[in-house]
Amino acid sequence: MRTRQDARQYRALFISDVHLGTRAAQTEALLEFLKEADADVVYLVGDIVDFWKVRRGPHWPQSHNDVLQKLLRKARKGSRVVFIPGNHDEALRAYCDMNFGGIEIRRDTLHITATGKRYLVLHGDEFDVVVRYARWLAFLGDRSYEFTLACNGPLNWLRRRLGLGYWSLSSYLKARVKTAVNFIGQFEEALTAEAGRRGADGVICGHIHHAANRRIGALHYINTGDWVESCTAVAETDSGELIMIDWLAITRQRAAEARQLEPQAAAA
């Protein structure tokens, strides 16, 4: 059901790893994106609320409430909203197959595109051996990740003063550290193998905060990324194409175009 004529309409929208309750959550960017994007089905692919952080002491400004209200409003206006809890909001897995406020909670689900392609949709932490077998190490890694995210703030304040764009230390380390690169590759292969076992054509997941849209063998692997660093989402168009949306790149392009128009406006 389509209700908003001023928004970009999609068949489906996939968002994960917002981590509400943390300072790193880029809620203002997400709210701007949600104002412009509507879909028949909105999949929340885990770690929307970071209960790990909430237990230690949440950071919860009004914008975090606004994100939840925006998602509930989409459900009220006719979008189907499916929430697949991740490891950071795993407490909600106890309520799988129940509906709350128009939001369906599922352990995982199958999405069928306009072209009939079948995609397994799940958060993906089930295939993270650290999360499954060494939870203490997962918590330690989470704190280390928080530290590198905290470093992004002062670092990017300095970059802005120098006229440079946003740069993520944690993303850089993830791309450069060999063990992290190997982990990502193993994670992607495990997820696509599971999709194949279930007779799907591909998989759509989150969890590792590493956006991707590529083929692995005969299967299609898609990771939605996150709204902590990359601010990415995945959308299905009316033609059945699954596309990656890089919101930071879009906003940078718009800002550059606005700067180019400023001299023309001043001259007029």
Q: What is the CATH number of the domain that holds 66?
A: 3.60.21.10
Print burial letters for 205-224: b (CB count within 10 Å at least 16), e (below 16).
Answer: bbbbbbbbbeebeebbbbbb
Domain count, the chain: 1
- The helix (run of H) or strand (run of E) holding residue 132 is helix 129-133
Res 152: pLDDT: 61
Res 36: pLDDT: 95
The string of pLDDT tens digits covering residues 42-88 is 999 999 999 988 888 889 999 999 999 999 999 999 999 999 999 99
Range of the domain at 153: 8-267
Res 259: pLDDT: 83
Q: Residue 97 falls within a domain, yes or no?
A: yes
Q: Residue 131 falls within a domain, yes or no?
A: yes
Q: Residue 111 falls within a domain, yes or no?
A: yes
The string of pLDDT tens digits covering residues 125-171 is 988 754 343 343 344 445 555 555 555 666 555 656 666 666 565 55
The string of pLDDT tens digits covering residues 96-135 is 999 998 999 999 999 999 999 999 999 999 887 543 433 4
Res 5: pLDDT: 41
Q: Residue 69 falls within a domain, yes or no?
A: yes
Q: Residue 48 falls within a domain, yes or no?
A: yes
Query: Is 110:118 a contact under the CB 8 Å cutoff?
Result: yes
Q: Residue 1 falls within a domain, yes or no?
A: no
Query: Is 86:45 a contact under the CB 8 Å cutoff?
Result: yes
Q: Residue 60 falls within a domain, yes or no?
A: yes
Q: Residue 3 falls within a domain, yes or no?
A: no
